[in-house]
Copies of this chain bind each other. A is one copy, B any other.
Amino acid sequence: MKIAFLGPEASFTQLATTQLFPTETKIPQVSILDCFRAVEDGIVDKAVVPLENSIEGTVSMTLDYLYKTPEIHIEAEAVMPIAHHLMIHKSQSNDADLEKIYSHPQALAQSFHYLDQHYKNIPKQDFSSTAAAAKHVSENPDRKLAAVANQFAAKLYDLEIIQRNIHDFEQNHTRFIIISKSKKSYDNSGLENIGRKSGLLVSLPEDHAGGLHQVLSVFAWRNMNLSKIESRTLKTGLGNYFFFLNIVGDWHPILHENALEELKALGTKVDFLGNYNEYLLES
């Protein structure tokens, strides 16, 4: 089976993909759009893309492409705490006289307090990804360089982690989804399952006050709890929106089916993306 993911090699998305699909063939893509295209065109079976809070992709793109390609479904969601580590080349014994620290600008920003406290006067330089920064350090064994990147990049480029978890906020995380044209749900008893949810895309027939309220009342009186709601502008003009919703729990063949039927009868466009597991990954 072939799995596309948002690259480059050693990106956080690859770190997630490796845990979700340890033995499958994994093919990096340069953009979220390319991940969707690879699935749509049947070049791969599934793809892993960020859904929330990624430093590597504009995740609003993920919602837009889910809307634009109704044949693509969600098989699972995976949450990964964000962890940044400081790493050097193994031929360097320590961090004395460090010349430069490389990373993605957002990873440097997320590690600001640690770097400011311990390496205030060492120049920082932006790279296009944390993985590219790690690669650069690996290619310059004679220079006193360091990178801020994930543990997967340290392993791939054979770097030594000299300080783990240098990021500022404990509970930051990125959410990923597995997308495919199959309507099956991904199941993996080897990972920590932290819940079950449904994904829906809802677009209202017209932009009127209270339209979303009407949609939510269909769920509310059935005790269907929402864990995420996000509006996105349709590209057809100002004032037209669709909503991405997550409903907590298992799919109920009567309650959930009726809710969707009624929404459609009210003139609302509903794209059911799947009922699937949420897994907690290691960072």
**A182 to B212 CA separation, bound complex (whole angstroms):** 32
Q: Which residues of chain B come closer than 8 Å to A172, judged between CB atoms? A: 235
Give the number of chain A interface residues (Cβ < 8 Å): 56
Complex: how many Å from CA A235 to CA B169? 9
Considering the chains assembled together, what is the distance between the CA atoms of A209 and B216 in angstroms?
Answer: 10
A112 engages B52 (CB within 8 Å): no
Residue ID in chain B nearest A32 by CB atoms: B109
Q: Does A19 contact B (CB under 8 A)?
A: no
Using known A-B contacts A58-B55, A132-B126, A209-B223, determine if residue A112 contacts B235 with beta carbons closer than 8 Å.
no
Q: How many Å from the CB of A164 to the closest CB on chain B?
A: 20
Q: B residues within 8 A CB of A126?
A: 8, 128-129, 132
A109 / chain B contacts, CB cutoff of 8 Å: 30-34
A252 close to B (CB within 8 Å):
no
Q: A226 in the interface, Cβ–Cβ < 8 Å?
A: yes
Instruction: Flag whether A60 is at the interface (Cβ < 8 A).
Output: yes
Nearest to A222 among chain B residues (CB) is B209
Cα(A8)–Cα(B124), bound, Å? 13
Interchain CB contact under 8 A, B241 and A227: yes
Could you tell me if A213 and B208 are in contact, using CB atoms closer than 8 angstroms?
no
CB distance from A224 to the nearest CB of B (A): 6
Known contacts A60-B52, A216-B213, A229-B231, A238 near B34 by CB under 8 Å: no
Q: Within the assembled complex, what's the spacing in Å between the Cα atoms of A216 and B55?
A: 32
Taking the nearest CB of chain B, how far is it from the CB of A107, in angstroms? 10
Residue A194 at the B interface, CB < 8 A?
A: yes
Residues of B within 8 A of A282 (CB): none
A112 contacts across to B, CB distance below 8 A: 30-31, 33-34
Enumerate 6 A-B pairs (CB-CB under 8 Å) in ascending A order: A30-B108, A31-B106, A33-B109, A54-B58, A213-B219, A229-B243
Q: Which 3 A-B pairs have the closest CB atoms?
A: A31-B109, A210-B220, A126-B128
Besides the known contacts A33-B109, A127-B128, A210-B223, 10 further A-B residue pairs in the complex with CB atoms under 8 A apart: A30-B112, A31-B112, A32-B109, A105-B128, A210-B220, A212-B226, A213-B217, A216-B216, A229-B231, A230-B230
